[in-house]
Structure 1
């Protein structure tokens, strides 16, 4: 693994009846805390496609993902051998069309919809919390919709 890790994450979203956005989060397999579906980049895959695969495997989410990242955040990844690798994560917004009732990591993770504010309170990474809190603003929601127009 590199000294500085590059990861990708999906930011699964949906709009509810009140016109506000909701964020789908999953629990980490190690700690059980709430996180975004994320992982390492995949050989031969565009970063947003890798994020889309992570959303499917970790959350059973199917939908449309943007080809441009909404933002980035950093966190210390604890490797299986105990090393700590600083990671930068690019976050790709994804409009969820469907949640599969059965998915690859269903027995290892929980999934739940949150308001952006509630999601931000559950994450430990300040930069990710800022991205989530920004979804409260109507202008950011419009920006996400614009990004989604560019979805591959």
Structure 2
């Protein structure tokens, strides 16, 4: 973990949360659109998400998370995030810190069965409405309902 990330985690407050980046992966035409959910380490349904990365834009980092956590081999991400929501991020040591999660829409072109976190995560394609009923964060529910 980089020093700047450690400092951000240690000093995160509601007024100055850590930043995380999420990929709202989707496929299909608007009327039949599906979005990709993956399981978190605790088994909750979430979007693929992670930390900003050195030498990557936020958009690029969201695409990397889509690959690592969801198996999105090829996708096209919007240049700007489509929304954001606040959440509490649980760290490996059990500590909870405030996070602002920026969500990037990613149109999925190709998926892979073999991806870095395939053994650790389940994935599921569902309608945005169904996804909103499966996730727990209110802000993410709102983004999914509007998608």
TM range (shorter): 0.7 to 0.9
| Distance in 1 (alpha carbons) for counterparts of 2:43 and 2:125 | 16
Distance in 1 (CA, whole Å) between partners of 2:82 and 2:106 is: 10
Aligned position for 1:101 = 113
- What is aligned with 1:49? 60
Which secondary structure does the structure 2 equivalent of 1:127 belong to?
A: helix
Counterpart check, 1:122 vs 2:122: no
**CA root-mean-square deviation:** 1.2
Aligned pair 1:134/2:143, yes or no? no
Give the CA deviation at 1:91: 0.2
What residue ranges of structure 1 are gaps of 5+ in the alignment?
136-152
**What is the rounded CA distance, in whole Å, between the counterparts of 1:44 and 1:103 in structure 2?**
22
Count of paired positions: 133
C-alpha distance in 1 between matches for 2:126 and 2:103: 17
2:49 to 38, 46, 54: 38
Report the equivalent of 2:82.
70
Deviation of the 1:128 alpha carbon: 0.4
Counterpart CA distance in 2 for 1:19 and 1:79 is 38
Gaps of 5+ in 2: 1-5
- Secondary structure of the 1:56 match is helix
Instruction: Verify: 1:90 aligned to 2:102, yes or no.
Output: yes
Deviation at 1:101, TM superposition (A): 1.5
Partner deviation per Cα, 1:89-146 (whole Å, 9 max, x = no partner): 00000000011011110000011101011000011100100000002xxxxxxxxxxx
Question: After superposition, what is the alpha-carbon deviation per residue over 1:61-84, rounded to whole angstroms, capped at 9, x for unaligned?
Answer: 121111110000111111122221
CA distance in structure 2 between the aligned counterparts of 1:129 and 1:88, rounded to whole angstroms? 15
- Per the normalisation by structure 1, the TM-score is 0.84
